[in-house]
Amino acid sequence: MLSAYLDEKGELVLGEKEIPEVKSDDILIKVIACGICGTDVHVFKGINRGKPNVIRGHEFVGEIVEVGSGVKDLRTKDIVVVDPNIPCMNCFQCRNGRVHLCKNLTAIGVDLDGGFAEYCVLPSKQAYKLPSNIEPIVGALAEPLACALHGIDRVDLKEGEDVLIIGGGALGLILTQLVVNGGAGRVFVSEPYKEKRDLAFGFGATRVIDPINEDLLDIIKKETNGRGVDVVIEAVGSDKTILQAIKAVSDGGRVLFFGVAPEDVKIEISPFEVYRRELTLLGSFVNPFTMERAVSLISGRRVNLYPLISDIIPLHDIKKGVDIASTGRSIRVLVKP
């Protein structure tokens, strides 16, 4: 089968691999589509490290073509989305319900072969059946939606609170829909590309801001009578936007670090400012116990994911897809084997 992985030099390679063997509790799926996320771009561009010879891709949907002898609740021809994160269930964090912080966490598409291939084998417990009323290709965005749900859980959004989302990529636009649906008061979205700003406005944002040609902090202060917003979700992952987030939040407010920054990025924060303003700085990592909710939201049409698919490319053009995803103009590039 054709697959995309990193070689020993850390370079993206297209090559043939054997279709993996299905064990008792596994399923084999024929990949329908797999998203190229920011983490993938960082790895393929050498910004973050990647494990060699592992097929990348962790945001994917597929059709089951074979089930192991021990699998009881899934059948061939079922369309499933994949939770890529596999906890050990034995460490301190797992035993205390924080499976995403597992010290032995392994991930499909990171540590184990993933979705940038024609086929993928995975433990059946990592698969969630997609209802028939959902177009299968949209299922590739179930995992990012699940991650966004965890972020919303972390900020504990209250109805009527003002929210600023910095970054209108796929995750920023999903988060926009979630905070609007969650009863936020005013929703501000900062995004340099007009196409994404238009989508954010269509999804219910109160005000969209072009941070290149407008002063983000000045607008937020004016719109909130100098107070700042209650919640800022930083969905870019750069030092500049993280510092903007801290300046834009009100005293007593919460800032969520949602965007994935390169590992070597550092910021300078005043502990006194955090203390005096009583700020809450939060992180959000992957998708603990939120995949089922993500599928339910898609099935109930409470989020609109189809407009976030900006490009669909064949697997043999994945290098082109990575270049497109690197520009910032695309929203979510899907690889369709």
Q: Mind listing the pLDDT tens digit for each residue in 23-45?
A: 999 999 999 999 999 889 888 88
214 neighbors 230 (Cβ within 8 angstroms): no
Name which residue leads in pLDDT, 175 or 47: 175
Reply yes or no on whether 290 is catalytic. Answer: no
pLDDT (0 to 100) of residue 9:
84
Mean pLDDT over residues 315-328, rounded? 95
Above 80 in pLDDT, residue 85?
yes
**Strand, helix or coil at 83?**
coil
- Tokens 């072969």 — which residue? 113
- Residue 270 identity (one-letter amino acid): S
Q: Phi and psi at residue 223, in whole multiples of 5°?
A: -70, -25
**pLDDT score for 76:** 98
Q: What Rg value do the Cα atoms of the chain yield, rounded?
A: 20
* H-only helix segments in the chain: 38-44, 92-95, 142-155, 170-181, 194-202, 216-223, 239-248, 271-276, 291-299, 318-326
Active site residue 39: yes
> For position 276, what pLDDT does the model report?
98
Q: Is residue 62 helix, strand or coil?
A: strand
- Tell me the domains of the chain and their CATH numbers: 2-129+305-336 (3.90.180.10), 146-283 (3.40.50.720)
Q: What is the pTM of this model?
A: 0.97
- φ/ψ (deg, to 5) at 329: -80, -30
46: confidence class by pLDDT, cuts 50, 70, 90: confident
Q: Which of 39, 176, 241, 290 is catalytic?
A: 39
What does the pLDDT average to over 126-149?
A: 96
30 forms bridges with which residues in the sheet? 63, 119
Model pLDDT, residue 53: 93
Confidence of residue 50 (pLDDT cuts 50, 70, 90): confident
Number of Cβ within 10 Å of residue 204's Cβ equals 14
Query: Residues of the chain with pLDDT > 70: what percent?
Result: 100
**Taking residues 148-169, what's their average pLDDT?**
98
Name the 3-class secondary structure at 27.
strand
Residue tagged active-site, from 42, 58, 100, 150: 42
